[in-house]
Amino acid sequence: DSLGYTLIESPHVAGDYSLENIARFPIPFIKGLGRAAASYIDLSRSHEPKAWPHGNIEEVSIGNQLRPVMITQPNPEHCTDPKNAINEVMFMGLTELNEGSHRFYHEDLAKANPDHRIISIMTPGISSHGPVLNPLEGLTRLLDTTAEEYLQALPDLTHDGIINIYGTSLGSVISFHLAALNLARNNHQKLNIGVIKLASPAAGARDVHEHEKFNEYDASNQKYIRDVRNRFFLHMPQDAARMALRHPEKAGECMSVALIYSMDIGKHIPRLFTLIGNLKSAQQGIDWETMKYVTRSHKLKVIGGEDDPLMKEQLPQYVKLKELSPNVEIRILKDYGHALTLDSESVVRHFNE
């Protein structure tokens, strides 16, 4: 706490790469792979609503497309007025909507908040269930454009309830942009946004004033950004392996995403261009004045892994924001990296605490 953040000890005492962990890996991994494949086939063929807390896919007009949105309505046993229910709106990173790590996160959030509405919005052009973008549009699209489209679509999804925002990885950039756009609106147009919660954020500050510098470089320096990006790409395979050994069944479901993607041959090129465009936009960072503007107006909760190269570089900026505003809370989880949302139960628990 004296450093400006809370460091949480890991419950994983035994070595992740122990013979015991490796030996027990195959069976639950295969089970998860099979369950995800069955879920994908069912989703492709059936539009029957799933039982609570499972998210149901709805096609929603966002921008100039009908895009898939996953929604879990409040549990009727816990919510007397769904129209006024609190909304937990999740902006996803470069992941899949109804298979893999995000589904666990979505459903665990619903279980922890049964009287709330949980809404997960897919990054445009990424989902295997949704439309792709024109390759040129995907390559040149900015994330503040995505944020503007989400801002326009949210009133029809959230009804009259408060809106809490969850940004995961790339979704953290969208979260800052959306909150800033909302604050700039006229009072009668503003959405009632409550808390902003970021997990494994990827929102680096740029254009930081000299008297407020917290790092030698910021996101304005392209050489620095390339170095951080390269360290991140080296980190991810190692972190994915570690999390797979901790959660083999979930890892099996996540692996199915790669298989699902490989079957959508017609979407490979536009999806690749969109991935590149999203990464390029995220690497531009968020203007430092915008970050201060948002955190002065909203409570901000940040959870990251101690081993995550992106979190290591962003931690000083969030500590600085906490110095400037009492609205910021930061938790760093030991022995976790960027893929920490695979342990979605822990992430949800920390946010709720």
Task: Express each pLDDT in 223-239 by its tens digit.
Answer: 999 999 999 999 998 99
Q: Note whether 228 and 309 are within 8 A (CB).
A: yes
Does residue 13 have a pLDDT over 70?
no
CA distance 351 to 86: 15
Which of the residue ranges 34-38, 217-221, 286-290 would you say has the lowest mean pLDDT?
A: 34-38
SS3 state at 88? strand
Average pLDDT over residues 163-172: 95
Does residue 336 have a pLDDT over 70?
yes
Predicted local distance difference test score (pLDDT) of residue 86: 94
Does residue 95 have a pLDDT over 90?
no
Predicted local distance difference test score (pLDDT) of residue 271: 86
In this prediction, residue 305 has a pLDDT band, given cuts at 50, 70 and 90, of very high
Neighbour tally for 296: CB within 10 Å:
14
Does residue 46 have a pLDDT over 60?
no
Average pLDDT over residues 23-28: 65
Predicted local distance difference test score (pLDDT) of residue 47: 55
- Report the relative pairing of strands 193-199 and 87-91 from DSSP bridges: unpaired
Residue bearing the bigger pLDDT, 43 or 74:
74
Q: Note whether 14 and 20 are within 8 A (CB).
A: yes
Does residue 111 have a pLDDT over 80?
yes
How many CA atoms, within 13 angstroms, populate the side-chain half-sphere of residue 78? 15
Within 8 A by CB and 6+ apart from 241, the residues are none
Residues β-bridged to residue 166: 90, 197
Predicted local distance difference test score (pLDDT) of residue 122: 83
pLDDT digits (tens, 9 = 90+) for 245-300: 888 777 777 776 667 667 777 788 888 899 899 999 999 999 999 999 999 999 99
Dihedral angle computed from the Cα positions of residues 337, 343, 347 and 352, in that order, rounded to the nearest 10 degrees: -170
Predicted local distance difference test score (pLDDT) of residue 25: 62
Percent helix, strand, coil in the chain, to 5, is 50, 15, 35
Predicted local distance difference test score (pLDDT) of residue 288: 96
Does residue 173 have a pLDDT over 90?
yes
In this prediction, residue 152 has a pLDDT band, given cuts at 50, 70 and 90, of very high
Predicted local distance difference test score (pLDDT) of residue 101: 65
Percent of the chain with pLDDT over 90: 50
pLDDT digits (tens, 9 = 90+) for 114-126: 999 999 998 888 8
Does residue 174 have a pLDDT over 90?
yes
- Report the relative pairing of strands 65-72 and 56-62 from DSSP bridges: antiparallel
Average pLDDT value over all residues in the chain:
85
Burial level of 335, CB count in 10 A (0-12/13-18/19+)?
A: middle
Q: Tokens 């129209």 identify what position?
A: 83
Within 8 A by CB and 6+ apart from 126, the residues are 94, 95, 96, 271, 274, 275, 278
Q: At what angle do helices 248-263 and 26-45 cross, to 10 degrees?
A: 40
pLDDT digits (tens, 9 = 90+) for 188-217: 889 999 999 999 999 999 999 999 998 888
CA distance 122 to 94: 9
The one-letter code for the residue type at 168 is T
Dihedral angle computed from the Cα positions of residues 140, 339, 122 and 38, in that order, rounded to the nearest 10 degrees: 130
Predicted local distance difference test score (pLDDT) of residue 63: 87
Q: Which range in 2-6, 29-33, 48-52, 320-324 is most confidently predicted, on average pLDDT?
A: 320-324
